[in-house]
Structure 1
Amino acid sequence: MALSPGWRAVRSSGFLLFPWGTGSLLDPKMKAFLEENTEVTSSGTLTPEIQLRLLTPRCKFWWERADLWPLRDPYWAIYWPGGQALSRYLLDNPDVVRGRSVLDIGSGCGATAIAAKMSGALRILANDIDPIAGMAITLNCELNQLNPFPILIKNILDLEQDKWDLVVLGDMFYDEDLADSLLQWLKNCFETHRTQVLIGDPGRPQFSGHSIQHQLHKVAEYSLPEPTRQDNNGLTTSTVWQFQP
């Protein structure tokens, strides 16, 4: 999908950045499509403080065949359990982010970045490879009365590493090759900048069976609400881990 001028995208060093926009500056047709085909909700998750536009059973495309969805798979429209745990942890422990710079990798709906902002993070970058996620994150910021933060639409693993006080990532260890690439990137990030890394995951086999397990320290575990359990094949808990290579 081509970006229209209404996206107010700024091209910098070969990637797209959505800086401090508002929903009114987003492509009107895409904004209307997202608003029509998602539901604003804060129920059934670990963070009732955060409102999000999500794909729910009350939405048309929840029931339609997947190939009828006109865009790439809407992973951003699901509030995944790893992200829920990370967001809950940041809301409950604001000292982890207050006054610090935070990078949210695979931001999706933007909930964890929003939680960081609510908890006093000084600088935030949300990263996702899907430009539609960028639009959804901006709309979700507005739902929570926050000024939208910058959103990087690029595979950050391919870019030169910047310095961040904290890197957070939830539900990203779903593919073995991606998990290997993430591990190496996070190692480099830690060794170069001594960056703190927090990972949220509900215990998927690709994560619990990966070698990264030898370099993790559990910091929090949460029981998932029943609606989240039902939507995630019966997973019952989600955990926040600190990466310590």
Structure 2
Amino acid sequence: MLAHTAPATAPLVPEITLQLATEITPIWQATEAWLAQEGIEPPFWAFAWPGSVAMARLLLDEPGRVRGKRVLDFAAGCGLAAIAAARAGAALVEAAEIDPLAIAATRLNAARNGAAVATLEGDLVGAPCRWDTVLAGDVCYEAPMTNHILPWLRRLAAAGAEVLLADPGRAYLPREGLAPVFRLEVPVTRELEDRDTRPVTLYRLLP
């Protein structure tokens, strides 16, 4: 992980330092052999995706949204939103990921920033609600993923959690049951996206 990343900050979030990929191809090649042998996921954890960037910016600018609350960062990636929640004064922050390397990245990044973030490895979908706020950044990029998680996230909202969904225009975002909260134009790299910026909208998911 350290061999293929370097300390850097995400666009628009200079307050938080992360271990991020400096070049995409080498890190993809480094994990390619693992993909077949060990079931390792692609290194999504090595990049600050636009949904997480917007989520982090919102929480740092409006810390009252999570101050004193129990927060889950679902599909946390590099842990950016979780770290922002901790910096904003959340009482408890948990970051969930199915990829063990993403868990390791989140732990490394949280420690680098002095943020108290607990990690949960595995598929959390279906777990009962024990959070006040659930953060889900950029999770609607595939139909199977969206169909798997959205019913559960709506159940969490029905149970009383505020579920914040950050979407940069992915194809499988649901068309209803969303209340816009915040919008931000996030710079992105053409190595990952097909443009220079992505407009990210944060929604409150309705039950």
2:169 aligned residue: 203
2:200 aligned residue: 238
- Pick closer, same or farther for the CA change 1:66–1:177 going to 2, 3 Å: same
1:98 aligned residue: 67
Q: Given the two structures, how large is their TM-score scaled by the length of structure 2?
A: 0.89
Does the CA contact (< 8 Å) of 1:37 and 1:60 recur in 2? no
Q: Residues of 2 paired with 1:140 and 1:240: CA distance?
A: 23
Q: Residues of 2 paired with 1:97 and 1:224: CA distance?
A: 22
- Pick closer, same or farther for the CA change 1:163–1:62 going to 2, 3 Å: closer
Does the CA contact (< 8 Å) of 2:6 and 2:21 recur in 1? yes
2:179 aligned residue: 217
Q: Given the two structures, how large is their TM-score scaled by the length of structure 1?
A: 0.76
Question: Is 2:103 the partner of 1:138?
Answer: no
Structure with bigger strand share is 2
Which structure 2 residues correspond to residues 84-233 of structure 1 after superposition, within 5 A?
84-147=53-116, 149-157=117-125, 159-191=126-158, 193-207=159-173, 212-225=174-187, 228-230=188-190, 231-233=192-194
CA displacement 1:52-79 (0-9 Å, x = unmatched): 101122x771584863567531111111
Letter in 2 for 1:156: L
- Pick closer, same or farther for the CA change 1:219–1:205 going to 2, 3 Å: same
Does the CA contact (< 8 Å) of 1:170 and 1:201 recur in 2? yes
Post-superposition shift, 1:145? 2.2
RMSD of Structure 2 on Structure 1 (CA): 2.0
Say how many residue pairs are matched: 201
Q: Residues of 1 paired with 2:79 and 2:31: CA distance?
A: 23
CA displacement 1:133-168 (0-9 Å, x = unmatched): 111111101221224x211111111x4313210001
Does the CA contact (< 8 Å) of 1:129 and 1:153 recur in 2? yes
Detail structure 1 runs of 4+ shifted over 6 Å in the superposition: none
1:61 aligned residue: 26
Q: Residues of 1 paired with 2:105 and 2:93: CA distance?
A: 16
CA displacement 1:3-47 (0-9 Å, x = unmatched): xxxxxxxxxxxxxxxxxxxxxxxxxxxxxxx2121111015x121
Q: Residues of 2 paired with 1:108 and 1:79: CA distance?
A: 8
Residue identity over aligned pairs, in percent, reads 33
Give SS of 1:190's match: helix
Unaligned runs of 5+ in 2: none
